Structure 1
Amino acid sequence: MDSIIRRRCLAHLARSRILGLRYTSTTTTTTTPPSARPDLASSKTTSAVTAAPPPSKPKHVSAPKTEDITPPKPVDLQRYHISDPPTPVQQTFATRYFQAPSTPPIHLWTAAKFSTIPRSPYPEVCFVGRSNVGKSSLLNAVFGRPKEKIARVSSKAGHTKTLNAFGVGGVNRDTAAREPLKQLSSGALVVVDTPGYGFHSRQEWGPEINKFFEKRKQLRKVFILIDAVHGVKSRDLVLLQHFEDNGIPYQIILSKVDRIVMTDSKSPGAEKLTRLVKKLDKVYEEVDEQLRTLDQGQRPKKRDVLAASAEKQIKGLQGWGGGAKIGIEAVRWAVLKACGLDCDEQGNRRVVEGLEIQGEEEEDEEVVAWKPQRYGTK
């Protein structure tokens, strides 16, 4: 009896173990309750159900690098409304004309009165502006010899007290002993520096300078300097109106433009220069608005306006090489073009013929036969 009971117990125990193994193998294929095994629950759930991809982050668009920004060109600082800007070939031609080492500018004459100005067969331009606007400094930069200070410079307003003429573009070494005007060769021009008007300038010089503007027949154009920071003043408008009324050709130059496009001692990068040129655009708009009074209610007149600096140059940017101060190449080209001594796009200079003084026996000392003929290689 006992043996029968023992066998039944062993059989029951064996069945229980088999059933226990079956239960264990079955539950391992199911998901473990999260409360029991949280570490296994996450892994097993991901294997059974494909998890959704995490939301993609918005792509960050980086700002363009400074070196990727195309910097403004020197011509972008000028405003050409009625004439074409000079090409690189023409700018180089103008630079070589003024900076030729073999033909440095020479002082020709100084005059306090119009009647004492000598006769001349050469085309002339003159530079005018308010006292201390930077005429003499700009001329030294145009001559390409700022250290020599051919035109006298002073920080004191009203330093220039006479008309001072300088010959540019060729000196005949064989005639070095003659009077200065006869030292110039064919194709030369004369640049005249004038006393400043306004604060600390003398009133009696006004009539003499006006005589020069109105009666000097060699005069091709007047370059009037206006401070780029302070803008057009009432005395500037009076002089400009005088030019308009008397048909005197003139060219406006915004001087000291470095105070706008170079706010510190270092040359600006491409991005900063782009912002500063936009600031200069506003200055041009203000100047145009101030000049509308000259139109006297008529249709607004288009005028070329240049900008230059006698002190600063921009370095390290594409198109800003050559060592010239800001805007000086544009001023040089404007002077040559006014005198008819410019060149074509291929660099062929204009040939000057018939250069001689006529009517010396007459009292009218202003009759001059001067006429540029054509472009050529002569």
Structure 2
Amino acid sequence: MRRLAKASIFKNPFCGTRRVQCRPQITSHQPARSFTTTPPTLKDDRPLVRQGLSYYWDTHPPNPHQLHQADKFFLTGTPLIIDSAIKFRTVKQLANPEVAFLGRSNVGKSSLLNALMGARVCRTSHNAGRTRSMNFFAVGGADGHGNRGRVTVLDMPGYGYGSRPEWGKEIMKYLEGRKKLKRAFLLIDARHSLQVGDVDILTLFRQLGIPHQIVLSKIDEVLFKRKKVSEERMLKNLHLLDARCKEMRGQIQPGQAEGPEALGEIICTSADAELQGRKMGVQELRWAVLSATGLGTL
């Protein structure tokens, strides 16, 4: 673990150049391509507030008490795997509110979920496509009514390189049919811009009316490319991060013509690096999960 000092693609072959309503289809084994079109013009001048290493413009940043409560919630009890399924039709109907984590293969999703839940419950690998099933975890301790955990965290199979077409189909079935889903968290590698598959799934979220938000993973690779980083270099890297998030803001909130936009938060995280003794962005991500599931008033 690095301890730092203070300082697939979704593709629909029927989508041509005509303006038609098409639902993205998930395929795989295609090289990643960057989404390089000009981002839409922002619809207003709401300030982009950076607190720590995360960005807020639709919501208020969490205060220290809220971050403490989020830590307490996730570190109460041991996270338990309560279901695992390859096919959506075999998924159990669970009582607790759910949040789903999605992203391209090798975006660092399983590692980040281990950090989120405070335990190594998700298998990790350097090889793409390690997560092959939908894995449901109960977190937050017992709810007093016999339910294991108070929130269900779902680790979804990755899409894109190293994934399989059938995984994408099951992801779509889940998104269309799951009633307990409160928010989908889409992980994006902080080193890269949005890929075509990311843009397609964002379109799918809007078309299905699914609440969603962006989480940047591997933020340490942007800020700390070397073990020792000068203050000048750190400031340059922060400016780079600011610019990237401002550009991404326009891409994830293009207007409501297709449906509800992403929540105006971009949480920057690292599953490996620590800043001031804490995994970068994990507290903020925990609070976002509580807020999504209606438990932000604990």
- TM bucket (normalised to shorter chain) is 0.7 to 0.9
Aligned 8 A contact 2:97 2:152 in 1? yes
Q: Distance in 2 between matches of 1:81 and 1:131?
A: 29
Higher helix proportion: 1
Counterpart in 2 of 1:193?
Answer: 155
Aligned 8 A contact 1:295 1:301 in 2? no
Q: CA deviation at 1:336?
A: 0.6
Q: Does 1:333 align with 2:298?
A: no
Q: What letter is aligned with 2:242?
A: D
Q: Distance in 2 between matches of 1:303 and 1:205?
A: 29
Relative distance call for 1:212 and 1:301 in structure 2 (3 A) is closer
Q: What letter is aligned with 2:98?
A: E
> Aligned runs of 1:116-265 on 2, under 5 Å?
116-145=90-119, 149-171=120-142, 184=148, 188-265=150-227
Aligned 8 A contact 1:77 1:306 in 2? yes
Q: CA deviation at 1:242?
A: 0.5
Aligned 8 A contact 2:99 2:183 in 1? yes
Partner SS, residue 305 of structure 1: strand
Q: Distance in 2 between matches of 1:113 and 1:301?
A: 27
Q: Distance in 1 between matches of 2:258 and 2:291?
A: 30
Q: CA deviation at 1:338?
A: 0.3
Q: Distance in 2 between matches of 1:336 and 1:172?
A: 14
Q: Distance in 1 between matches of 2:50 and 2:270?
A: 12
Deviation digits for residues 221-253 of structure 1, max 9, x if unmatched? Answer: 000001111120000000000101111000101
Q: CA deviation at 1:263?
A: 2.3
Counterpart in 2 of 1:284?
Answer: 245
Relative distance call for 1:183 and 1:245 in structure 2 (3 A) is closer
Aligned 8 A contact 1:130 1:198 in 2? yes
Aligned 8 A contact 1:241 1:294 in 2? no
Q: What letter is aligned with 1:138?
A: L
Q: CA deviation at 1:303?
A: 2.5
Larger Rg: 1
Higher relative contact order (CA 8 A, sep 6+): 2
Q: CA deviation at 1:114?
A: 1.0
Q: Does 1:89 align with 2:74?
A: no
Counterpart in 1 of 2:46?
Answer: none
Q: Distance in 2 between matches of 1:221 and 1:258?
A: 25
Q: CA deviation at 1:284?
A: 1.0
Between 91-100 and 159-168, report the one with greater CA deviation. 91-100
Q: CA deviation at 1:283?
A: 1.5
Q: Percent same amino acid among aligned pairs?
A: 38
User: What is the aligned-residue RMSD (CA, Å)?
Assistant: 2.7
Q: Distance in 1 between matches of 2:175 and 2:258?
A: 26
Q: CA deviation at 1:144?
A: 1.9
Deviation digits for residues 3-56 of structure 1, max 9, x if unmatched? Answer: xxxxxxxxxxxxxxxxxxxxxxxxxxxxxxxxxxxxxxxxxxxxxxxxxxxxxx
Q: What letter is aligned with 1:184?
A: R
Q: Distance in 1 between matches of 2:100 and 2:258?
A: 29
Q: Does 1:108 align with 2:82?
A: yes
Q: Distance in 1 between matches of 2:142 and 2:230?
A: 41
Aligned 8 A contact 2:134 2:156 in 1? yes
Between 74-83 and 238-247, report the one with greater CA deviation. 74-83
Aligned 8 A contact 1:74 1:327 in 2? no
Unmatched 5+ stretches in structure 2? 1-5, 8-48
Counterpart in 1 of 2:42?
Answer: none
Q: What letter is aligned with 1:130?
A: R
Q: Distance in 1 between matches of 2:253 and 2:59?
A: 20
Relative distance call for 1:301 and 1:211 in structure 2 (3 A) is closer
Question: How many residues in Structure 1 have an aligned counterpart in Structure 2?
Answer: 251
Q: What letter is aligned with 1:124?
A: E
Aligned 8 A contact 1:126 1:221 in 2? yes
Partner SS, residue 204 of structure 1: helix
